[in-house]
């Protein structure tokens, strides 16, 4: 038995205390709130999963990332506007230093550029994470730009420049963009420049296929939120894991990529219990074998502490044979076709909008804090 310390940063636990907006994170089990140990059993489900799927940790908590990276089963890390906001608002000395550096950088370079300070803060967090994991780190462009291709391009290029200035090569960075038409169009240009992208907030088949057709390095479909939608629409509370609508949707995307030769990585995120309370790992286990997964710390800990065989559910060659979807829209979907198919997909339309609203709310909150700090420095 291998035991490792897991220190959940008080900063992240307190950052949004009293925040009334419903969390888009998984249930509370995904965030340890006190000092505890991660026990990695021999032949644990975490170890078995890591053999068939490359694993990323979904958190901005540096100590937690360090502890899980030390197990050898986690290679990548993902962040989002919520994590950056939590870091910026935490009051923890480590993250306060990131904020102060970002403020000083923006003042030196561009006077009082709030957007530059926010990009620099996100990069500061990413640079720290890059020292803890050997693989990809994901940093999201301001979600308020999800319908503005040109400004998305400008900010994405600046984020990459900030990483390279800090000594992190672009090959290690995934620029996260929402799966809007404008986000996908921006991604196509960035990928052509050697800037790899993670198309996130993927809830529908058309979003996944369009991202692959235009050359995304990676997509992040959200099976848990697809399940949430179907629970509400169908008035049903539980499914067997293999029949879970979120699992079915992600499996279809994965199969399509393998049949039609797309190299885009399928990395699901955001997990729910298919069968209800007490079955937190249902979706994760039902998608074992997909290219990558990003998983929050609490679920990683459950995997580390559980034993028994974890069957591989997805395999590339079998997926290609299983896929029943022909090439969509002749292999290069147009804007008009994308928008029509999005409109026809209630889950993709509703959940993309909901996810953007949540991330924008987090970004607005952080922007106000950064603006105040810039004003304080200049007064």
The yes-or-no answer on residue 176 being catalytic is: yes
Q: Hey, is 54 helix, strand or coil?
A: strand
> What is the CA 217 to chain-centroid distance, rounded?
14
Please name which of 217, 197, 55 lies closest in space to residue 139, comparing C-alpha atoms: 197
> Which listed residue (66, 120, 149, 176) is catalytic?
176
- Judge contact between 215 and 187, C-beta under 8 A: yes
The structure tokens 């000395």 sit at 93
Q: String of b and e for 229-250 (b: at least 16 CB within 10 Å)?
A: bbeeeeeeeebebeebbbbbbb
- Judge contact between 204 and 342, C-beta under 8 A: yes
Q: Hey, is 131 helix, strand or coil?
A: coil
Distance CA 244, CA 266 (A): 18
Q: Which stretch of DSSP H or E encloses residue 157?
A: helix 149-165
How many other β-carbons are positioned within 10 Å of the β-carbon of residue 86? 25
Catalytic residues: 176
């Amino acid at each position: 038995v291998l035991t490792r310390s897991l220190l959940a940063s008080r900063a992240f636990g307190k950052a949004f205390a009293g925040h009334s907006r419903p969390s888009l994170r998984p249930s509370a089990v995904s965030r340890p709130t006190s000092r505890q140990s991660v026990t990695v059993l021999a032949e644990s489900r975490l170890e078995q999963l890591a053999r068939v799927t490359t694993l990323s940790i979904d958190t901005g908590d540096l100590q937690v990332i360090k502890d899980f990276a030390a197990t050898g089963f986690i290679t990548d890390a993902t962040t989002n506007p919520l994590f950056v906001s939590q870091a910026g608002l935490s009051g923890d000395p480590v993250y306060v230093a990131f904020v102060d550096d970002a403020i000083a950088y923006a003042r030196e370079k561009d006077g009082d550029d709030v957007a530059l300070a926010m990009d620099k803060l996100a990069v500061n967090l990413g640079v720290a994470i890059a020292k803890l994991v050997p693989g990809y780190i994901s940093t999201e462009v301001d979600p308020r730009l999800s319908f503005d291709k040109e400004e998305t391009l400008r900010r994405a290029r600046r984020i990459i420049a900030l990483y390279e200035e800090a000594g992190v090569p672009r090959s290690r960075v995934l620029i996260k963009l929402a799966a809007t038409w404008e986000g996908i169009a921006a991604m196509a240009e960035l990928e052509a420049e050697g800037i790899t992208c993670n198309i996130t907030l993927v809830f529908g088949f058309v979003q996944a296929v369009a991202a692959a057709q235009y050359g995304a390095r990676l997509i992040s479909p959200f099976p848990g939120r697809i399940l949430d939608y179907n629970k509400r629409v169908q008035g049903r509370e539980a499914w067997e894991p293999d029949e879970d609508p979120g699992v079915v949707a992600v499996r279809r995307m994965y199969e399509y990529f393998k049949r039609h030769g797309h190299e885009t990585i399928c990395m699901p995120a955001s997990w729910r219990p298919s069968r209800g309370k007490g079955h937190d790992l249902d979706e994760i286990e039902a998608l074992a074998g997909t290219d990558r997964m990003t998983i929050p710390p609490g679920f990683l800990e459950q995997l580390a502490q559980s034993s028994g065989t974890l069957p591989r559910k997805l395999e590339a060659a079998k997926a290609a044979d299983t896929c029943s979807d022909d090439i969509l829209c002749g292999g290069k979907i147009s804007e008009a076709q994308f928008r029509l198919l999005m409109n026809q997909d209630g889950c993709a339309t509703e959940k993309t909008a909901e996810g953007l609203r949540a991330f924008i709310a987090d970004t607005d909150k952080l922007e106000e804090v950064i603006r105040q700090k810039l004003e304080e420095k200049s007064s």
